[in-house]
């Protein structure tokens, strides 16, 4: 079935609206529950609107700007927040930790080890603001007295500066937990060992093309309690599953059913897996999203609620009351749909004869829709995409600058530059395709 954008967005909006409108309720009583901590979530959602830190609204920002905003914010209370450099990246950008609380239970959160996955980094700023401005709030006092929380935001500043996944020498930091070849990976491991982290939060973003289970809906958040070995578990892992179940309950009012479970396959090079092996009860939080939310505001809000709910539950011990079911029963991350499908155009190459075919496009970045390349051409009936263009009766005319050495083609991996037009010469343009990004410029 073709997944129309409108349908997808409607589903997500219904899910979100249903969550926001959920009935207020008291915080969960002592009894274990499969009930959501709705009261807590509603309070946190309200608080979010007051504590969302302005200034880093886009997904892409320089690490220097991140730390400038953070330093300015935390300068208001240097007694309770301590910022310390823990190393430097390959390109010698500073790596820093932020410490809060002086309790006995140590919690380590790190974000953006993949440089183009910034949602949680921004949410951690909002968390800082909440903890900073509410020193007398019982929840904040509880976190501060029971926990020693260490945040390591923007662990991959070189990647963040370029908004790419890898670090400056092309290493995926989340495949460096075993080798520890990178200064960034070593800094994270050293902090873990320094605080002897009881709990860990591994904060990432995932592609918005991923579907939830076998359904058509997208994913706003996926969770994982990564295993410590192939098909094995340990006490830290079991605890993390309970905490993940609590996070599911906390997030339902925020993102509805748009929560999935990340792949549980053990990876001996990944930090989450090895953290668990090292005895740190680790939860992976992946921020997905949707096309109509280019700044990832909804998953940012969800991260705020998830992190504060989890810190609160660790401080009070409430996580122990949550059976693993809500986590274990999450549908897994499912298939990834295409970014764009163009159905039924007559494809025209310079001097060539037209061929009627469908075209699937994948972007390097599904949200800002940049770097679009051809994924597949041909009979794509039944394929799915975040956006579909019915090009029946239109011509797909590729851009050609006249250089015979660089004749355009439509091979897998080629950049898609051209127009969809009513005529085969590409003059009566209906859609422009700029590196695969469709811009409507005319009517049919």
Residue nearest to Zn ion (CB): 204
Interface stretch with Zn ion, choices 89-97, 116-124, 346-354, 389-397 (CB under 5 A): 116-124
Shorter beta-carbon distance to Zn ion: residue 114 or 249: 114
Q: Minimum distance between the CB of residue 299 and Zn ion, rounded to whole angstroms? A: 13
Q: Minimum distance between the CB of residue 120 and Zn ion, rounded to whole angstroms? A: 10
Shorter beta-carbon distance to Zn ion: residue 154 or 430: 154
Q: Minimum distance between the CB of residue 55 and Zn ion, rounded to whole angstroms? A: 24
Which string of x and - marks every residue 161-190 that binds Zn ion (by CB under 5 A)?
------------------------------
Q: Minimum distance between the CB of residue 114 and Zn ion, rounded to whole angstroms? A: 4
Q: Would you count residue 296 as binding Zn ion (CB under 5 A)?
A: no
Q: Minimum distance between the CB of residue 174 and Zn ion, rounded to whole angstroms? A: 6
Interface stretch with Zn ion, choices 197-205, 312-320, 342-350, 370-378 (CB under 5 A): 197-205
Shorter beta-carbon distance to Zn ion: residue 273 or 358: 273
Shorter beta-carbon distance to Zn ion: residue 302 or 433: 302
The one among 97, 114, 166, 296 contacting Zn ion by CB under 5 A = 114
Q: Minimum distance between the CB of residue 175 and Zn ion, rounded to whole angstroms? A: 11
- Give the N- to C-terminal CA distance of the chain in Å, as an integer: 25
Q: Minimum distance between the CB of residue 260 and Zn ion, rounded to whole angstroms? A: 15
Q: Minimum distance between the CB of residue 293 and Zn ion, rounded to whole angstroms? A: 19
Shorter beta-carbon distance to Zn ion: residue 115 or 426: 115
Shorter beta-carbon distance to Zn ion: residue 185 or 253: 185
Interface stretch with Zn ion, choices 64-72, 196-204, 334-342, 413-421 (CB under 5 A): 196-204
Q: How many residues bind Zn ion (CB under 5 A)?
A: 3
Q: Would you count residue 204 as binding Zn ion (CB under 5 A)?
A: yes
Q: Write out the two tokens for 443.
A: 């009517």
Shorter beta-carbon distance to Zn ion: residue 117 or 312: 117
C-alpha 222/C-alpha 212 separation (Å) is 9
Interface stretch with Zn ion, choices 27-35, 109-117, 287-295, 381-389 (CB under 5 A): 109-117
Q: Would you count residue 59 as binding Zn ion (CB under 5 A)?
A: no
Q: Minimum distance between the CB of residue 109 and Zn ion, rounded to whole angstroms? A: 14
338 and 385 in contact (C-beta within 8 Å)?
yes
Q: Which residues bind Zn ion (CB under 5 A)?
A: 114, 117, 204
């Amino acid at each position: 079935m073709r997944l129309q954008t409108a349908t997808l967005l409607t589903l997500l909006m219904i899910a979100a609206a249903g969550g926001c409108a959920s009935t207020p309720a008291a915080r969960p009583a002592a009894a274990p529950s499969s009930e959501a901590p709705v009261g807590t979530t509603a309070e946190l959602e309200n608080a979010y609107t007051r504590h969302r830190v302005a200034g880093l609204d886009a997904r892409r920002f320089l690490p220097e700007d991140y730390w400038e905003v953070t330093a300015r914010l935390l300068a208001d209370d240097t007694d309770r927040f301590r910022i310390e450099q823990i190393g430097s990246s390959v390109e010698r950008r500073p790596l820093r930790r932020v410490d809060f609380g002086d309790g006995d239970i140590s919690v380590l959160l790190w974000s953006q080890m993949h440089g183009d996955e910034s949602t949680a980094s921004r949410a951690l700023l909002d968390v800082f603001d909440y903890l900073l401005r509410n020193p007398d709030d019982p929840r904040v006092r509880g976190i501060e007295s029971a926990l020693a929380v260490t945040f390591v935001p923007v662990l991959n500043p070189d990647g963040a500066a370029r908004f790419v996944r890898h670090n400056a020498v092309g290493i995926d930091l989340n495949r460096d937990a075993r080798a520890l070849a990178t200064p960034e990976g070593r800094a994270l491991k050293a902090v873990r060992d320094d605080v002897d982290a009881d709990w860990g939060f591994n904060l990432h973003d995932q592609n918005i093309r991923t579907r939830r289970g076998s359904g058509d809906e997208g994913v706003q958040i996926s969770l994982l309690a990564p295993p410590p070995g192939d098909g094995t578990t340990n006490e830290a892992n079991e605890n993390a599953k309970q905490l993940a179940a609590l996070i599911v309950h906390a997030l339902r009012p925020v993102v509805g059913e748009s929560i999935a479970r990340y792949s549980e396959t053990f990876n001996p090079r990944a930090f989450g897996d090895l953290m668990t092996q090292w005895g740190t009860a680790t939860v992976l939080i992946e921020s997905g999203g949707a096309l109509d939310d280019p700044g990832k505001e909804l998953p940012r809000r969800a991260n705020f609620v998830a992190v504060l709910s989890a810190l609160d539950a660790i401080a009070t011990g409430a996580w122990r009351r949550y059976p693993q079911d809500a986590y274990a029963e999450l549908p897994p991350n499912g298939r990834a749909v295409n970014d764009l499908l163009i159905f039924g155009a007559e494809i025209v190459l310079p001097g060539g004869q037209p061929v009627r075919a469908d075209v699937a496009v994948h972007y390097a970045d599904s949200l800002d829709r940049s770097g679009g390349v051809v994924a597949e051409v041909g009979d794509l009936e039944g394929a799915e995409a975040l956006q579909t263009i019915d090009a029946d009766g239109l011509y797909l005319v590729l851009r050609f600058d006249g250089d015979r050495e660089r004749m355009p083609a439509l091979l897998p991996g080629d950049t898609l530059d051209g127009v969809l037009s009513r005529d085969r010469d590409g003059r009566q343009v209906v859609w422009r395709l700029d590196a695969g990004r469709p811009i409507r410029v005319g009517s049919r």
